[in-house]
Amino acid sequence: MTMAPATTTAEIDVLTAAASDAAPIWRAADAGERAGWLRAIADALDTHIDELVTIADRETRLGETRLRGEVGRTSGQLRLFATVVEEGSYLELTVDDADAVSGRPELRRQLTGVGPVAVFSASNFPFAFSVAGGDTASALAAGNPVIVKAHSGHPDLSRRTAEVVTEALRAAGAPEGSFALIEGREAGNALVQHPAIQAAGFTGSVTGGRALFDLANGRPDPIAFYGELGSINPVVITPTAAAARGAALATGLVGSFTLGVGQFCTKPGVVFIPRDAGFEASVAEAVTDATGGQLLTDRITDAFPAGIDALLGSSSVELLGRGAPTETGAQPVVLATDAAAVTADPEVLLAEVFGPVTLLVRYDGDDDLHAALRAVPGSLTATLHSEEGDEVAATLALLESRAGRVLFAGWPTGVAVTWSQHHGGPWPATTSLHTSVGATAIRRFLRPIVYQDAPAHLLPAALRNEAIAALPHRRNGVLRVP
């Protein structure tokens, strides 16, 4: 791992000026050209996969299998957004023709890129949520140059990935200033406050994200800050589900909360279980064979045992089981408490602990469960394991109010990159209601603009009659799909 000097303010000024020059070119590029630039990056990542995975494994210790899969997801995201650009509905093209009777003018509306975007890389996904990850892909797809702040946990990978992206864009004919990389915490702070930056995307801790969110909102010209921060991803298991398939659910839970050494943002961190259903014993048995491993960074490594100790500091919490011993790294841990304790002390018992740990919460009936669920903070996901005939409407309503994705089978780790996916939720899961995964992630980096009585030759190409007829659009209130 090679540490480089932090990017200076003068260097940021140069990069943002270049991005500002490139922004109108990206906005004006037709769908085929912009999609081609995205596919060029995807192809380049796939071409360099061997080199990139070697660097990533050295810096993150995530293993070749996981990292190769993540490169595939990253290039797949870029190709998905290429199809989003070509399909065209993301533009939300809308026309209201002039009406002489009412005096209404002609109005034509579309979404357009906001301008240069700052992207802050995550530590736990060194490809998919990093330099060329989903935030970068969606911002470029929206027609915006991107400046990425590298994560300190994988600096060599960040630099090499940035070189691959820059070379691919240049070879594909994209303008200079389309993409850049900066390093250093102070440089990141300066970037989000720079007047050329028009929006920012972030994946990381609540503390770091909140600090950047405040900087973005404290500017003389505040900008949108789309942060994915903390999430404990509650799970509810009904008595009938525990009775019908408790052993299988216990095995699935252990596999999920230990996946990636518990460093997924969708890890099931708190699981509400019926008291005296035998589920605790099943989890305690299943976790004994679970393996841990080294965590991503020294900071995460130091925080994991401190987080466990903070939970065990509550008199209501007991250690239920541990995974297989490990000479180095984090050992999986299962803790248990009661719903009444969670209701009384949610700030301590519902604190997110990054790493392979989950907290089982025993409940006695729906009233006990629902009181505790009301104390659960916003999350990316919520999971309900029930059986046909269970009366779960009230429970489901509480879970829906606290998460952006609700699961009824399986476990939340693993996020499909699709048109319908939503990866967001109420605070502190995200700072907005938008998603950072899936096709609609592009909406974060777009703004609406309306043209009133504009001469046809001055309209953006997509809003002209000859082009709009071939794209999804709404005209005089009627949705039209070619």
Question: Which residues are identified as catalytic?
Answer: 228, 265
Cα torsion 144, 150, 154, 160 to 10°: value is 60
Beta-bridged to residue 337, according to DSSP, are 361
Write out the two tokens for 320: 């239920």
Handedness of CA 78, 82, 87, 88 (dihedral sign): positive
- CB-count burial class (<10 Å; 0-12, 13-18, 19+) for 276: exposed
Q: Is 126 left (phi over 0), alpha (psi -120 to 50) or beta?
A: alpha
What phi and psi values does residue 225 have, to the nearest 5 degrees?
-125, 115
Collapsing DSSP states into helix, strand and coil, what is residue 356? coil
Task: Report in angstroms the alpha-carbon separations of 168 from 56, 69, 139.
Answer: 20, 21, 17
Q: Is 481 left (phi over 0), alpha (psi -120 to 50) or beta?
A: beta
Burial 118-145 (b: 16+ CB within 10 A, else e): bbbbbbbbbbbbbbbbbbbbbbbbbbbb
Handedness of CA 180, 186, 192, 197 (dihedral sign): negative
- CB-count burial class (<10 Å; 0-12, 13-18, 19+) for 211: middle
Cα torsion 149, 153, 154, 158 to 10°: value is 0
Q: How far apart are CA 223 and CA 54, in angstroms?
A: 37
Write out the two tokens for 219: 């500017």
